[in-house]
Structure 1
Amino acid sequence: MDIKKALLFLSFLAGCIFHAQTLHLYGGADHDQYLGCLNCDNFDKNSIWNKFSDYGNTFGSKSIWNTYGNYGSTYGAYSPWNAYASYPPAIVDQDGNFFGFLTLNPYQPERSELELAVILCRHHDEIRSDVDGWYRRLFR
């Protein structure tokens, strides 16, 4: 590969990295409750992967990892982990584009098919018990 092609390729890669979509979760009946960033770094204060944040802490009231909370229990109407939830969290990007609902409900017509959403649904119990380990496994 000559130098011009290599630089063009590197420029393309840099553009892809800087334009990556940041995905966010919104829950509640009107989907107006922010529940954190789905694919942000584990040091980001809004990340569901930051165990010290409101959204990544297993005891946080706005955390999908809180088994006793409205947004993380098996029976909560707003929880992605309730297969019959009436109002599972919506996944949207920074521009407000909708990417489906994060839900275990296979009959939800707008269930997200994003690879990350599928992994979260399939492994949510294991992830909840090792958020750091799963972050490293998924993003590094």
Structure 2
Amino acid sequence: MTCKKLFTLLSFLLCSVFYSQALHLYGGSDKDQYLGCLNCDTFDKNSIWNSFGDYGNVLSSKSIWNSSGNYGSSYSTYSPWSTYASYPPAILDENGNFFGYMTLNTFASERSELELAQILCKYHDSIKKDLSGWYDKLFR
């Protein structure tokens, strides 16, 4: 199977599985800072895929895409992109069910095994440069 076919199949599966329930990120040492919705539409004000919203804007202090911020820096203890993060963001659904931590830290207990979290961690540098393009690849 070619990479393109595999990626298309994976995208279809992600769309059908994750689009049915909204998944949200919460950060900080007490997980009390809302960091946006992982699988909400690009037009949703809470979406990490909305580059004009608080959670998708690369300049926002609440965005995982802000390379200089607490939640987007590769050196921050609160960032999913830090391999040494002690307090990476938690993934919760609307009912408060816990889906693990989104983190590059392979030693973190309860690291999320959701395919969406794994893709975001693996390709976060590319995704940050083209949010809408990656959203289309993953969800449309």
* TM-score computed with the length of structure 1 as normaliser: 0.86
Q: CA deviation at 1:31?
A: 0.3
Is 2:49 the partner of 1:24? no
What residue in structure 1 maps to residue 8 of structure 2? none
4+ runs deviating over 2 angstroms: none
Larger Rg: 1
**Equivalent residue pairs, number:** 124
Is 2:63 the partner of 1:63? yes
Q: Percent of aligned positions with the same letter in both sequences?
A: 69
**CA displacement 1:95-124 (0-9 Å, x = unmatched):** 000000000011112000001000000000
Higher relative contact order (CA 8 A, sep 6+): 2
AA at the equivalent of 2:48: I
Gapped regions of structure 1 (runs ≥ 5)? 1-15
AA at the equivalent of 1:71: Y
Query: How far apart, CA to CA, are the structure 1 residues paired with 2:107 and 2:21?
Result: 26
Paired residue secondary structure (1:34) = strand
Query: How far apart, CA to CA, are the structure 2 residues paired with 1:96 and 1:21?
Result: 12
Gapped regions of structure 2 (runs ≥ 5)? 1-15
* TM-score computed with the length of structure 2 as normaliser: 0.86
Query: How far apart, CA to CA, are the structure 2 residues paired with 1:43 and 1:76?
Result: 28
AA at the equivalent of 2:70: N
**CA displacement 1:40-72 (0-9 Å, x = unmatched):** 000000000000000000101100000000000
